[in-house]
């Protein structure tokens, strides 16, 4: 999964409070951290306090269920210079 992008909550899915309450803690933290904001992977990692593996796993799982979606961002000049 490519991590460069902005992550958003699907607001229609998040209204299912029962489904959210049954999620693992790291997935709940990701959803609560995102709130109504769009964040990059690194912003999400910094704000949530989770490590990169926990964030990656939670995002992958949440995207698979349709709770979170990602919009790809164009690479920054710094990323292009580093070959990312």
pLDDT band at 59 (very low <50, low <70, confident <90, very high): very high
Phi-psi region at 29: left, alpha or beta (left = phi > 0; alpha = psi -120 to 50):
alpha
Predicted pLDDT of residue 4: 59
E-strand ranges in 10-72 read 68-72
Residue 10, phi then psi, degrees to nearest 5:
-80, 105
Position 50 in a domain: yes
Predicted pLDDT of residue 78: 57
CA angle 11, 76, 31 (to 5 degrees): 20
Position 51 in a domain: yes
Position 77 in a domain: no
Residue 46, pLDDT > 90, answer yes
Look at the chain and report how many structural domains it folds into.
Answer: 1
Residue 81, pLDDT > 70, answer no
- Mean pLDDT of all residues in 10-28: 78
Per the structure, the complete domain to which residue 13 belongs is given by 5-71
Position 14 in a domain: yes
Residue 80, pLDDT > 60, answer no
Residue 83, pLDDT > 60, answer no
Instruction: Please state, in angstroms and rounded to a whole number, the distance separating the CA atoms of residues 48 and 78.
Output: 25
């Amino acid at each position: 999964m490519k991590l460069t992008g902005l992550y958003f909550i699907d607001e229609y899915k998040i209204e299912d409070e029962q489904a959210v309450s049954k999620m693992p803690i790291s997935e709940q933290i990701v959803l609560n951290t995102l709130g109504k904001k769009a964040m990059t992977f690194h912003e999400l990692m910094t704000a949530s306090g989770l490590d990169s593996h926990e964030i990656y796993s939670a995002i992958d799982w949440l995207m698979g269920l349709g709770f979170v979606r990602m919009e790809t961002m164009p690479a920054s000049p710094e990323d292009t210079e580093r070959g990312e």
